[in-house]
Structure 1
Amino acid sequence: MKTFEYSFEVKWGDTDAAAIVFFPNFYKWMNEASHHYFAKLGFKPSTLFEEQKIGMPLLEANCQFKTPLFFEDQVTIFSTITELRNKVIKLEHIFKRGETIIAIGSEVRAWTTFEGKPKAIPVPEKLRENAMLLDEKRV
């Protein structure tokens, strides 16, 4: 599956009193990285919702923390779809500072229509095709 990179700098507001990243921010960043990933595949979440009432609500998220991040650290998240079922997508997010793995997280999302009552629907074939392209850069 295709891997995309999402990079940013840790802001002061992302840290606690010891200037270490407060753990909920990892979940915020995984969400941002997922939106970046889908946009790179040609499925920008804001456009999908606005034009087709399609969303990708989160069903599950977890994160294993390996070493802390600090204020002004440069971080890159490497995101990859690791499972692509009929209506559900699982993504893995590897957080790195340089070559050091900081954390490894994952999300499970359902491809969902919001026309009327929310309902999971099949993942589009075009997304499957775009995600299956050979990786240019693997972690």
Structure 2
Amino acid sequence: MAFQYEFKFKVQWGDTDAAGIVFFPNFYKWMNESTHEIFAAIGFPVSKLIAEDKIGLPLLETHCNFKSPLYYEDKVVLHSTVEEVGNKVIRVNHQFYKDGQLVAEGYDVRAWTSFKGKPKAEVIPEEVRNKLMSSELIVEG
């Protein structure tokens, strides 16, 4: 089993649309935040990677299936799992739960990319790969 990150949050008013339902781009925002938290949890915060190493994690692909709506003040658990660590690419799966019920699931695929000059995907360092493939579980919130 690969690295897992789980955090709990409450849907805020600004996350909803005029009908009071979570506006769909927020699921992508939360998946993005969770993936960034995974890198921070393994000791490679994205802000530091960008500032010091000129390494970024641009999205190559993202997807989300919506099964049930979320509303203002719903309490949500987002469970994110590193599904695959390729040579240059990382895939993270995300599952959103409300009251133990799966309400959405998705994934993002990112490339380990150097921004020294023209952006170019690079081989993921072994230290990062090993940490991403560890069986650790971190729970926040």
Structure 2 residues without counterparts, runs of 5 or longer = none
What does 1:1-139 correspond to in 2, within 5 Å? 1-136=2-137
Q: 1:21 offset after TM fit, Å?
A: 0.3
- Shift in Å at residue 136 of structure 1? 4.4
Identical aligned pairs, as a percentage?
53
Deviations 1:10-40 (A, max 9, x none): 1111111221101111111111111111111
Q: Structure 1 counterpart of 2:21, which letter?
A: I
Provide TM-score, normalisation by structure 1.
0.94
Q: CA deviation at 1:134?
A: 2.2
The runs of 5 or more residues in structure 1 that have no matched partner are: none
Q: Whose RCO is larger (CA < 8 A, sep 6+)?
A: 2
Deviation at 1:9, TM superposition (A): 1.2
- RMSD of Structure 2 on Structure 1 (CA): 1.2
Cα deviation for residue 8 of structure 1 reads 1.5
Matched residue pairs, number? Answer: 137
Aligned mates of 2:137, 2:50 — CA distance in 1: 29
User: What is the rounded CA distance, in whole Å, between the counterparts of 1:13 and 1:92 in structure 2?
Assistant: 25
| Cα deviation digits, residues 26-82 of structure 1 (max 9, x gap) | 111111111111111111000110110000000010000011100011112111111
- TM-score (structure 2 length as normaliser): 0.93
Letter of the 2:79 partner, please give it: F
**Greater than 6 Å deviation, 4+ residue runs:** none
